[in-house]
Structure 1
């Protein structure tokens, strides 16, 4: 298995980072922390390194001197990939992370995973199965068991829900979408020439001081990206529809460091409000499926009219080409589709799918997109063009699948304790969470806005 500096170098190179920047990187800690069939520990450390190195590039581009040294601790990087699981409320309780019918179900010929954490996805799954809205898990399991896995997958997706049949890597590589998606890169970077990026003045106490980010993301991957930017001083404004029912168990981690605003983007007045935000922004990050913004009249031309130098960063589940390019998806579903959960099952001898020990596709995509944005901002500060950035869960999966670690699956899981978290205030009460990144020498990250409920009005 390669040393972590080499692993970080491959990821950094895939993002377009300069090779000599790796001379600033020091890695400490155990080479393996998380048990897995692929090198999740190395990937988490490489992701932390990429963000930290990119912060240094921004500092240099803003006139703060030579990029500072970077020191990555593998245990802390692994903890960051588990941040939503390691958060501990103090004196109050989190809601359940998973809907009762979410998870893996044995089908007539294999396994299928249902993702029903949003009410509309739960309704779609139950409708596709011909079950009432109040159906319990045992009824769902019995119904799924009577039908083939891919038939269940197709029916749920056709109903507007989210499901994935368990496939091996070989099966995925010959699947109509898999044959395309296996070539999806870690990050796509397309320069736009409507105008140059914006040069920034020297940072005022924080690497991203004065940078505004409009955040139109949900769940884990996108919010991880934007909270990383917030940790380094960006003003992040998260925009949700009024009354949006986000997965409540995630909010203590995904809203931290962000202002929160409710806008109904089907309404002209709220589109105008968003337009004013964008006109003063430097970055927009969204996780909407291809075409969703165009359907609202908010396509690329709309953004560029209001801010020609804008960095627009997007992520999706199954990649940007192929028949599933617009398919709804989540980390756990992509792991089922591409062969990761199947490989874990085979390696452990289990009779059920065995996923990665963390939502590594989500956290990886968030870090990759954050590092890409930081590099784009550094280019813009030097007079480079504005760019569009795109990553996907399947692109991250491709990168991870090329990092096998067969011996890692037998590693004993780590014990996490008070030294891995810090106390913080939230809108629901105090709690304990994984700290902001402290990898950049002299520029430790922090979150200035406590996590809290989503905004209910403008």
Structure 2
């Protein structure tokens, strides 16, 4: 079996249920396929590891897969903080619409500097009215902020970045290199990734979904954040099963610890734009020297070629840029941007990243070679546009008590419930060894092997 390059065909896995999101796009079908990609690759890896004599069947629960594309975490007796900064949102411009993403303080400051207005939604709304959307987008990006003008799908396909993406594969694999995987005697069919060390250098949201998925099959995931980092309203959902540590890579001590962790890692997952790791002193050649036997998968927003390959971005912005929000507007007969019901680009890309890790591990195990994989939210948007939307099935209902695991999760913020696994590979399914943890609550060391 070759490396994963596309989503599996529908006949390659079993789907249970028929509820689906009501959307202009095939969101639930994308959820099924991205979960199935993980299952297909894990089934092949389990067989390659000698944990099963046959390829195990892959089954996806469509309702649960769809729900996992939203929030999997339900607080019990307390409330989550707001996910969005008050200024973040869609605003009417002179010629259309723009979305401002201001959750991070420096992104908020960049937008306000360009607009020259007070830090309130009303003031921003008035200021934005006098701008052309494309000009405002450019000005904010030039100030190291993040924003996206709403484009039609046709306009995006004519845009230089849209044209570059059309030529990119869903999963780009670079050149082969020799690799010797660290022996892992802890793996079982029930926990096939137990003992696997995954170094997580990702932020909201696709990368953390990828590493959460790997943790769900037993991997030891260690996420590194800069001191003081937090993602209010998000971290509770995506830190499940992980160790969360702070390291300052601007200090000699922090760099030495990071390099020791990288050297001992089996997998590196990062969400840095092209050249960003180079700027920290960890270009590809340095990573190859420090950790020659790692599997590496990376992510960015707008693709790895073209004029926007270095542009910062998030799911909600890519939906605006790539014509998804405009297509939704037309489908809904609305007078404003109509995005997907969930951040499907983030979630689908995250599961595809996890599938790529599993595929690369199998390649390394069976051939003694591996390749690094690169994915992007914008390329996943193209995938979504290509998937046929089912006209059958009932609308997805709100979460019900029976959607959750009965075991209470004692997170760092309080008790919670977690959605049941949407994916099974034979008798193997996702479950986690630890609850959601706050940033910076773990030491920067790999755990000792389990007995």
User: Of 85, 107, 111, which aligns to 1:125?
Assistant: 111
Establish whether residue 230 from structure 1 lines up as the match of residue 233 from structure 2: no
8 Å Cα contact 2:4-2:359 kept in structure 1: no
Q: Deviations over 1:291-339 (max 9, x none)?
A: 1110011111121112212111100000000111000000010000010
Show the 5 A alignment for 1:376-387: 376-387=360-371
Report what 2:448 is aligned to: none
Distance verdict in 2 for CA 1:275–1:13, change over 3 Å:
closer
Distance in 2 (CA, whole Å) between partners of 1:111 and 1:24 is 41
Report what 1:421 is aligned to: 404
Establish whether residue 81 from structure 1 lines up as the match of residue 69 from structure 2: yes
Report what 1:401 is aligned to: 385
Report what 1:453 is aligned to: 438
User: Of 21, 27, 42, which aligns to 1:40?
Assistant: 27
Q: Deviations over 1:424-453 (max 9, x none)?
A: 220011012323444112212211111121
Report what 1:354 is aligned to: 338
Show the 5 A alignment for 1:45-194: 45-65=32-52, 66-83=54-71, 87-132=73-118, 135-194=119-178
Structure 1 residue 42, shift from structure 2 partner:
0.8
Gaps of 5+ in 2: 445-451
- For 1:249, what is the secondary structure of its paired residue? coil
Report what 2:262 is aligned to: 278
TM-score by length of 2: 0.92
Show the 5 A alignment for 1:368-383: 368-383=352-367
Q: Deviations over 1:398-446 (max 9, x none)?
A: 10011243958x9745222111223422001101232344411221221
User: Of 220, 225, 228, which aligns to 2:205?
Assistant: 220
8 Å Cα contact 2:198-2:219 kept in structure 1: yes
Q: Deviations over 1:90-114 (max 9, x none)?
A: 2222111111110100001100000
TM-score by length of 1: 0.91
8 Å Cα contact 1:27-1:71 kept in structure 2: yes
How many residue pairs get matched? 437
Establish whether residue 14 from structure 1 lines up as the match of residue 5 from structure 2: yes
User: Of 236, 240, 245, which aligns to 1:256?
Assistant: 240
Distance in 2 (CA, whole Å) between partners of 1:118 and 1:297 is 24
Distance in 2 (CA, whole Å) between partners of 1:348 and 1:41 is 18
User: What value does the CA root-mean-square deviation take over the aligned residues?
Assistant: 2.1
8 Å Cα contact 2:61-2:423 kept in structure 1: no
Establish whether residue 302 from structure 1 lines up as the match of residue 290 from structure 2: no
Distance in 2 (CA, whole Å) between partners of 1:197 and 1:453 is 31
- Out of 285-294 and 303-312, give the one that drifted further: 303-312
- For 2:361, what is the secondary structure of its paired residue? helix
Distance in 1 (CA, whole Å) between partners of 2:187 and 2:68 is 26
Distance in 2 (CA, whole Å) between partners of 1:23 and 1:347 is 29
Report what 2:449 is aligned to: none
Structure 1 residue 151, shift from structure 2 partner:
1.2
- Out of 445-454 and 333-342, give the one that drifted further: 445-454
8 Å Cα contact 2:14-2:60 kept in structure 1: yes
Q: Deviations over 1:223-247 (max 9, x none)?
A: 0000000000100000000111x32
8 Å Cα contact 1:118-1:247 kept in structure 2: no
